[in-house]
Structure 1
Amino acid sequence: MKLNIVPARTGAAWVKSGILTFFKQPLALAGLFFMFMAVMTIATMLPLLGSALALGLLPAATLGLMAATQEATKGKFPTPLILVSAFRAGRQRVRAMLTLGALYAFGFLLIMGISALFDGGSFARMYLLGAQISRETLAEPSFQTAMWVGMALYLPLSLLFWHAPALVHWYGVPPVKSLFFSFVACMRNFGAYTVFGLAWVGVFIVAGIIMTTVAALLDSPQLAAAAMVPVALIMATMFFTSIFFTFRDSFVADAPEAGDGAQVSLP
């Protein structure tokens, strides 16, 4: 396995590929994402350890969506069973994926614990338990500090786990090594991932402008509110679909081919 160094413009290509692939199998991919969200929501509702369980399942569930995207690129219809691809890859890789899930849950809960030092846990309760927060609490400096600290600490965690589930599943990389390789891939292709993120921000902004404009032209705020949920579902599905392409182009198993990318051996 080798790390593939790609030009910054590849980030925009990842966004385009995610959107185009979604439209190849829109019902299947949107349905799978809805199931993904439903499973996460039901898990969080379980008493005591619900939030930790949902966090632990997130890497495997994300891998399922990536596997569904791979099927869609081949012109195949991804079935619901593909969401559990991580648990059908043999005992060793299942154990590795569960380890990865435990590490993610621990890392995320640690971040929430650190944020609680700044506001007494209000932000953590809102994020993990869905606790109702008053406007006064949202405006408090301590809550704002906790929120920004949590976001700042989550960025490196997300880079560690961005490619880790796919590396464990498709390349058989051990969990800890997969975290290292994922972080290195994101940093070495920093330009492409920056363009990727900015492009998605632009797509979401444009979608919001279109919805607002249509609602204004029809003079129907209720229509805009009703359309918000399905549009958000579609946009989120497209985003998760595009994640597969960031992985596909960041790692290669074969010898380098002619092109404008470069490859670097990983230890």
Structure 2
Amino acid sequence: MILHLQSVPPRNGLLWVRHGLKVLQRKPIALIGLFALFMLVSSVLQLVPLLGQLLVMSALPLVSLAFMLASHQVLQSHTPTAAVFAQPLQLTKERRRAQIGLGLLYTGSTVAVLFLAHWLDGGALARVMDQVSAAGAKGDARGIEAAMSDPALTTALGLRAALLGLLSVPFWHAPALIHWGGQGVLQALFSSTLGVWRNKGAFALSALVWMGLSLGISMMISMLGLLLGAVTLLPYVLVPVMMILMTAFYCSLYFTFIDCFMFGAPRDLPETSDTPA
């Protein structure tokens, strides 16, 4: 498939969010089930020290592509299944190797970024976490609160978020460019960077909307819990709601790709399920 890099107006970032939510609305059980399966497998793998965490990191590019494939299937009136996680590895041998190589490169890059952040903040995050652990072991609630309110924690987390955000740029479209475009790893990383840079306005707006939705819904649920005196139930409400939002976000990735590299996303998705991909 021949892909054409193109620029879209910033307002398309809002369309990506809306389309992600509408795709989820069409097949909510199937799509949320896929995200829940991913979370379950990730949790089990992370029980294996180090190796499990590395495997989960290596799989993240494939997971993003799997949700692109799932959104594509929903638009074709199909119900996606867990098979979408394996589909990226079932094409040609060259593309399978490229996807695996991309995952390994993502893991290595993430580890390097985390080491860089640790060096830049002088180990501030590690020190704060040690303080939290020590206070928790003693049952010192004030100690935990003091450690969590340390400005160094905010700085350290902000630094990691910024560095990981930059790292996501070359990997954002790379799995899809390998899968649909047949590009090699380095070419896909370069093309992805160009795609995100050319459409940085749309990506910035999309990120702001997703963050606004997450914070707004979290605050609304928290306030409602306080008013009803059901604070202890908040985690049981917030976790599934955040899972739903994360699923919609992953579904929206498909629209960022087709908008930047194939064709403009439709202005609106009809409520019926006969829209072509």
Q: Name the stretch that deviates more: 35-44 or 114-123.
A: 114-123
Does the 8 Å CA contact 1:115/1:150 hold for their aligned counterparts?
yes
Identity %: 32
Does the 8 Å CA contact 1:119/1:142 hold for their aligned counterparts?
no
| Partner Cα distance (2:177, 2:59) in 1 | 16
The alpha carbon displacement at 1:120 in A equals 3.4
Q: Which runs of 4+ in 1 moved over 6 A?
A: none
1:2-17 mapped onto 2 (5 Å cutoff)? 2-17=4-19
Q: Name the stretch that deviates more: 46-55 or 27-36.
A: 46-55
- Aligned equivalent of 2:140: none
The alpha carbon displacement at 1:119 in A equals 3.8
Equivalent of residue 198 in structure 2, options 173, 188, 207? 188
1:156 aligns with 2:129: no
The alpha carbon displacement at 1:121 in A equals 7.8
Q: Deviations over 1:76-127 (max 9, x none)?
A: 100111121211122111100011001100110001111222343845997x
1:111-260 mapped onto 2 (5 Å cutoff)? 111-117=113-119, 118-120=121-123, 122-123=125-126, 132=133, 135=144, 137-140=147-150, 143-216=153-226, 218-252=228-262
- Aligned equivalent of 1:82: 84
The alpha carbon displacement at 1:32 in A equals 0.1
Name the amino acid aligned to 1:97: Q
Distance 1:106 1:115, change over 3 A: same
Equivalent of residue 28 in structure 1, options 27, 30, 51? 30
Distance 1:124 1:231, change over 3 A: farther
RMSD of equivalent CA atoms = 2.5
Name the amino acid aligned to 2:212: G
| Partner Cα distance (1:125, 1:47) in 2 | 22
Equivalent of residue 111 in structure 2, options 93, 109, 130? 109
SS in 1 for 2:5: strand
SS in 1 for 2:6: strand
Distance 1:97 1:74, change over 3 A: same
Number of matched pairs: 251
Unaligned runs of 5+ in 2: 136-143, 268-277
SS in 2 for 1:37: helix
- Aligned equivalent of 1:40: 42
Q: Deviations over 1:145-189 (max 9, x none)?
A: 433332222122111111111111111111111111111111100
Does the 8 Å CA contact 1:119/1:143 hold for their aligned counterparts?
no
1:51 aligns with 2:53: yes
Does the 8 Å CA contact 1:56/1:105 hold for their aligned counterparts?
yes
Name the amino acid aligned to 1:186: V
Distance 1:216 1:47, change over 3 A: closer
| Partner Cα distance (1:137, 1:165) in 2 | 39
Q: Deviations over 1:205-227 (max 9, x none)?
A: 33224323543554422343321
Does the 8 Å CA contact 2:218/2:238 hold for their aligned counterparts?
no
SS in 1 for 2:79: coil
TM-score by length of 2: 0.82
Does the 8 Å CA contact 2:13/2:204 hold for their aligned counterparts?
yes
TM-score by length of 1: 0.85
